[in-house]
Amino acid sequence: MAELFGKQARRYADGRPSYPPQLFQFIASKTPSRDLAWDVGTGSGQAARSLAEIYKNVVATDVSPEQLELAQRLPNIRYELTSPVVSRAELQQKVAAESTVDLVTIAMALHWFDRPNFYRQAKRLLKKPDGVIAAWGYTMPRVTGPVDSIYEEFYSMDSNPYWSPTHRVVIDEYRDMDFPFEPVEGMEDTGPVRFVAERAMGLDEFLTFVRSTSPYLKAKEEGVELLGRDVVERYRRAWNEEGGEAEKVVKFPVFLRIGKVGNASSTD
């Protein structure tokens, strides 16, 4: 999927929503210090930019050079291209020394990872015992009833065979995903905690979002167009119902799993 997203880097950067400030404020409230954050699978840096407003330094990594080229450069963000399988040496060279990271974040990407290996890496780098790991994503966007009914056909794994099996993990809000970390202060478990991201979109922008999703990209690679003229026309008619505003507020339900490393061994 990294290769597919890389091929459509501009569309991904333009089509995806930003995350709500409340999400980052909540996460930051759980980290005792705010010196260094590591944003993994940063893409074009949507989360890294918000983290840079709170943390002194941010290291943002991705395996796609095309995505990283589109990331906004800020003085306290260091972007690094990493290998698909990151060695311990590369981790320390490109990210940070062991036990020096306050926060590890993964935005809409953890379901693609080799999680056991990644968790070992995160545990090595996080400060003990209070370093925090936060992983989030979002489920089906909501626009209006008529638009939602069309998108539901696309979103359903039953009617759209181009979704990866990992999509089920997203639909379930990472609830059943392995997440071997301790609850942060003030929480009895590791979530999910819910937020809402909002973005004003015209129809063309919304369709750009649809074209940035993994099943659309996978279908396109196989020569199948999921947004043919008939489907676009259905969207157009639905978009013009209920007031017909050129722009509508699209709401993305965001879910968060969050935990702290505790005294876990870096070799766990």
CATH number at 249 reads: 3.40.50.150
Share of the chain above pLDDT 70, in %: 91
Query: Rounded mean pLDDT of the chain?
Result: 90
Q: Is 266 contained in some domain?
A: no
Give the pLDDT confidence score for residue 244 in this predicted structure: 67
- The residue range of the domain holding 92 is 1-260
Task: Look up tokens 């979704």; give the residue.
Answer: 163
Q: Is 34 contained in some domain?
A: yes
Secondary structure letter of residue 110 according to DSSP: G
Per-residue pLDDT, averaged over 172-187, amounts to: 96
Q: CB 211: neighbour CB atoms within 10 A?
A: 17
Task: Please name the residues in contact with 258: beta carbons below 8 A apart, sequence gap of 6 or more.
Answer: 27, 30, 132, 133, 134, 135, 184, 187, 190, 191, 193
Task: Look up tokens 């840079």; give the residue.
Answer: 52
DSSP 136-178: EEE---B--HHHHHHHHHHH-TTT-TTS-TTHHHHHTTTTTS-
Q: Is 92 contained in some domain?
A: yes
pLDDT exceeds 50 at position 70: yes
Q: CB 3: neighbour CB atoms within 10 A?
A: 12
Q: Is 165 contained in some domain?
A: yes
Q: Is 204 contained in some domain?
A: yes
The count of domains in the chain is 1
pLDDT exceeds 80 at position 265: no
- Confidence class for position 156, pLDDT limits 50, 70, 90: confident
Q: What tens digit of pLDDT does each residue of 228-262 get?
A: 999 999 999 999 986 667 899 999 999 999 999 99
Q: What tens digit of pLDDT does each residue of 193-242 get?
A: 999 999 999 999 999 999 888 888 888 889 999 999 999 999 999 999 86
- Confidence class for position 268, pLDDT limits 50, 70, 90: very low
Q: Is 179 contained in some domain?
A: yes
Give the pLDDT confidence score for residue 107 in this predicted structure: 95
Supply the angle between the helices 203-211 and 229-239 in degrees, to the nearest 10: 140
Give the pLDDT confidence score for residue 8 in this predicted structure: 56
Supply 17's token pair: 């929503």
pLDDT exceeds 70 at position 173: yes
Share of the chain above pLDDT 90, in %: 73
List Cα–Cα distances, 84 to 11, 29, 81, 114, 194, in angstroms: 22, 31, 9, 10, 30
pLDDT exceeds 50 at position 10: yes
User: Hey, is 192 helix, strand or coil?
Assistant: coil
Q: Is 267 contained in some domain?
A: no
Give the pLDDT confidence score for residue 4 in this predicted structure: 46
Q: Is 102 contained in some domain?
A: yes
R_g over Cα of the chain: 19
Q: What tens digit of pLDDT does each residue of 105-133 get?
A: 999 999 989 999 999 999 999 999 999 99
